[in-house]
Amino acid sequence: TLQDQEKQLAAAAALRWVRDGMLLGLGTGSTSAQFIIQLGAAVQNGLKVQGTATSLASEALARQLGIPLLEPRRGLRFDLAVDGADELDHQLRLIKGGGGALLREKTLETASDYLLVIADSSKLVPTLGRFPLPLEVVPFTLPWVLDAVAKLGGAPVVRPAVGDPSTPYFTDQRNHIVDCHFGQIADPEQLARQLEQIPGIVEHGLFLGLAKAAIVIQGGQPMVLKP
C-alpha cells in the first residue's frame, strides 16, 4: 500500500544516519521492521553495527537478518535509536505503544544519545490524543488503575489479545496494555505527571523530550523535523 511505501522510504532515509561502529536501539512496529530489514541488508554488505531490540519480535527479526545483538548490561548506551510512533506533534512529543513495546522502547531510548523517529504521513498531528494512549499495567493492579484513569477522563480499555478478544493482551513482560481515550491532550506534560502518580502503571506511552529528530514523509518525500 501507499502507507507501506512511505514506511519503506522513511526507513531508507534513516539508514543513511547509521555509521560503522554504532550501537543501535532497534524499535518496534511495522515502520521499525522496515528499518531492521534494510539494516540487515546493509550488515550483509559489510556495515559494522551492533544493536539491542525493543521487543522480542524485533529481536527475532534482527537475529534472523544477521544483525549482531547486544544483551542488556550496566553502562550500555546507544549512539542512535530508530523507532516509529503512533502520533507525533510539531514539538516531537510522541504517543507510542501501539505495538505494545513502550516499556522497552522508553528504556532503551532514554539510554540513547539520539532518538530518530521514522513515520509515514499519517502520524504527524497538531495535537496528540486522537490515538488512544497506551499504558503498561501490572495485572494485579488493573482494577484500581482503570478506576484512576477513568477519573482522569481516560475512558480506559484493556487491550485484548491479538485474534482472541476474550483474553487480554500480554506484553513481553507479561503485563497488560490499557488503551486510554483522553481525546485531544492539551497538556501532555501534565497528563504524564498525573499518570506517573498511579501505582501499577509501569510506563505510559507519552514520550516527551526524547526524540531529537523525526523523518516524516510529506508530499511523498522524507522530511527531517526537529523540535
> What are the residues binding ligand DER (CB under 6 A)?
27-32, 83-86, 96-99, 101-102, 105
Least distance in angstroms from the C-beta of 46 to ligand DER = 27
Residue 105 annotated as catalytic: yes
Name the CA radius of gyration of the chain, rounded.
Answer: 17
Task: Say whether 31 counts as a known binding-site residue.
Answer: yes
- Report the distance separating Cα 4 and Cα 18, nearest Å: 22
CA angle (165 as vertex; 203, 201 as ends), nearest 5: 15
For ligand DER, the closer CB: 131 or 151: 131
> Is 29 a known ligand-binding residue?
yes
Residue 10 or 145 with smaller CB distance to ligand DER: 10
Q: Tell me: is residue 97 an annotated ligand-binding position.
A: yes
Q: Is 7 annotated as a binding residue?
A: no
Starting at the earlier edge strand, list the strands of the sheet with 221-225. Answer: 50-53, 23-26, 80-83, 115-119, 211-218, 221-225
Q: What's the min distance (Å) between Cβ of 74 and ligand DER?
A: 26
Least distance CB 95 / ligand DER (angstroms):
7
Give strand ranges (E) for the chain.
23-26, 50-53, 80-83, 87-88, 94-95, 115-119, 133-137, 156-158, 160-161, 164-168, 176-180, 201-204, 206-207, 211-218, 221-225
Which residue is closest to ligand DER by CB?
A: 29
In the complex, what is the shortest distance from the CB of residue 197 to ligand DER, in angstroms, rounded to a whole number?
A: 23
Residue number, 96 or 159, with CB nearest to ligand DER: 96
User: Distance from first CA to last CA of the chain, Å, rounded?
Assistant: 29
Please identify which of the residues 6, 59, 87, 105 carries the catalytic annotation.
Answer: 105
Query: Is 98 one of the annotated binding-site residues?
Result: yes
Helix (H) or strand (E) holding 3: helix 2-15
Residue ranges for the known binding site are: 28-31, 83-86, 96-99, 123
Residue ranges for the known binding site for substrate are: 28-31, 83-86, 96-99, 123
Residues with catalytic annotation? Answer: 105
